Amino acid sequence: MIWRRTTKLFASRFDLHTADGTYRFYLSPPGTDAPPPAPDLLHTLSKSLDHMSVFGLLDGAVGAIGDAAGAAADALSLPGAVTQLRAGNRNEEILRAFIAGSSEPSPRAPTSSRPPEHLYTRGDEETLGTAASFGPHGGVVACAHTDGTIRLWNCGRGTPVRTVKPLRGNHGDIEGVEFSSDGRKLLIFDESDTVHLHDVLSGDVLASLHHDDEVVGASMDNLGEWAVTICEDLRTRVWNLSRRRVVRELESAGDQSVTFSPATQRFAVVGTEGLFSYSGPTDPQPAWNEEVGETPVHSVAMSRKDRIAVGDIEGNIHVFEPDLHRRIGHVSHDSCVKSIAFHPEGNLIAAGDREGNIIGWNLSSGGKEFHIDIGHVVSGLAWSPRGDLMAAACPDGLLVWKVRDTGHAH
């Protein structure tokens, strides 16, 4: 089901059909003095709806109240709603309504039940894959390796394009790689105290961002103007890339991972204390800080609309809507979530865990779109710009799948 806010929710109604009955809801504007929801209603809905929908419907939502006599005759038509009340359920008209979501219609959920088609695996026994990133035009995919190299491959054929050789002074594994929005630069960090910006064609180092201790996370904004780095010295730094200078330092709450939005200059940082923050490069303070829980959070992803997905070491994945300052969904794996990636349309996330499971989660329903078991820890995940390819970095190297008929909204 899809729940969305709209200015047309005055005195309108919709009916929710569940396995236990049909419920009629009357929707009024925010600010209506609605009493708290009846506990028996919450209990019934929590049994009847999937976990993702329960969060979307009940967690921090807008209250509304109405009655059959006062409801408008012209019912509002919502995606997933049925405007015909089944006879005999008058007693179920609890007159409480909760609705959540963004102000824009959600993208259509993927409609195909066909699993992704494995296209190729690229790697060797000498080195392991640690991170993956698609070029912005969809023709090239990069995989970082434990031998300190970045290997670039043609997406469609899986043929080698070039290798960015080990960095001078490299101290170990390459931990992360990202393309710039023009596809000409790579942001790379390893087990050293330096983050490097490389020219894709020549392999030359264009810039080096030096730190006082080992770097554990780094990300670059969509315009290539800013970078955020996380260091073991308990400082998270915001860099102006054109000036190669730190413009802001944030105290780290055990920060472990950072990512920029694909479409804005906002970024999210997560850490071992179960916290995340959402901010912009020049914001004096984070726009939003949120406690996910007491469990360390190790992975984070952002959609084009700045939705945030975070994964913790117990396998929980929480989805947040920054504009509404609240959580809108929750799904879970059986082991530590090591990597998350939003599909370009934002209606799907792929999540990989320590045990080798890659699950595609439908954010409208909370259900699984696909499940792949690669048998190894999934260190990195990425979607191609069109959303038709998915890549994973793992001990085997780089794995790429074709994802068909995902039913994107255009």
Q: Which contiguous run of DSSP H or E holds residue 401?
A: strand 397-402
- pLDDT tens-place string over residues 131-178: 999 999 889 999 999 988 999 999 989 999 999 875 655 556 899 999
Share above pLDDT 70 across residues of the chain, in percent, rounded to a whole number:
69
* Domain positions in the chain: 12-99, 117-402
- pLDDT tens-place string over residues 12-26: 444 555 555 555 554
pTM for the predicted model, two decimal places: 0.73
- pLDDT tens-place string over residues 266-308: 999 998 888 889 999 999 888 898 888 888 998 999 999 999 9
Compute the distance between CA of residue 343 and CA of residue 108 in angstroms, rounded to an integer: 12
Compute the distance between CA of residue 386 and CA of residue 403 in angstroms, rounded to an integer: 10
For the chain, what is the radius of gyration of the CA atoms? 23
> What pLDDT band is residue 40 in, cutting at 50, 70 and 90?
low
- pLDDT tens-place string over residues 181-227: 889 999 999 888 999 999 998 888 999 999 999 999 999 998 889 99
With a CB cutoff of 8 Å and minimum separation 6, the contacts of 394 are 128, 129, 356, 374, 376, 377, 378, 379
Compute the distance between CA of residue 103 and CA of residue 109 in angstroms, rounded to an integer: 17
Q: What is the pLDDT of residue 24?
A: 52
- What's 117-402's CATH class? mainly beta
Residue type, 329: G
Q: SS3 for 169-230, per residue? A: CCCCCEEEEEECCCCCEEEEEECCCEEEEEECCCCCEEEEEECCCCEEEEEECCCCCEEEEE
* 402: β partners: 117, 389
Q: Looking at the predicted structure, is the pLDDT value of residue 352 above 80?
A: yes
**Burial degree of 73 (CB within 10 A; 0-12, 13-18, 19+):** exposed
E-state strands within 335-396: 337-342, 348-353, 357-362, 368-373, 380-383, 389-394
